[in-house]
Amino acid sequence: MFRFGGPDCRVCRLIRVYLLVAIPVLMMMWIRPDFQIPVGIDGRAVVGYTFAVGVVLMVAYKYYTDIYRKKRK
């Protein structure tokens, strides 16, 4: 039966990840930092490439942990 609590609680881990992402985003929206992107750099491209690299890294990590490590055992 599913119970909250413990180190391997899936719901607790999901909530922690959301909080780790949501709190900095909300703080940035609230504080509204005044920083400038250097001239000649497209900020949208930087964000897009960052997300693309992040997705590739997450897929590679999940492949390594879920498939590759299990085949080696």
Residue-wise pLDDT tens digits, 3-44: 555 667 778 888 888 888 899 888 888 887 777 778 888 888
User: Which pair of tokens denotes residue 73?
Assistant: 């055992």
Tokens 């491209």 belong to which residue?
Answer: 45
Question: What 3-state DSSP class applies to 53?
Answer: helix
55 and 28 both lie in a single domain: no
Quick one: CA dihedral 41, 18, 6, 71, positive or negative? negative
pLDDT computed for residue 52 by the predictor: 96
Q: How many domains does the chain contain in total?
A: 2
Residue 1: pLDDT band with limits 50, 70, 90: very low
Residues 3 and 31 in one domain: yes
User: Quick one: 9 and 23 in the same domain?
Assistant: yes
**Domain ranges, residue 51:** 38-73
Q: What is the mean pLDDT of residues 50-71?
A: 90
Range with the lowest mean pLDDT among 4-8, 43-47, 63-67?
4-8
**What tokens does 4 get?**
């909250």
Q: Do 2 and 21 sit in the same domain of this protein? A: yes
Kindly state whether residues 24 and 47 are assigned to the same domain: no
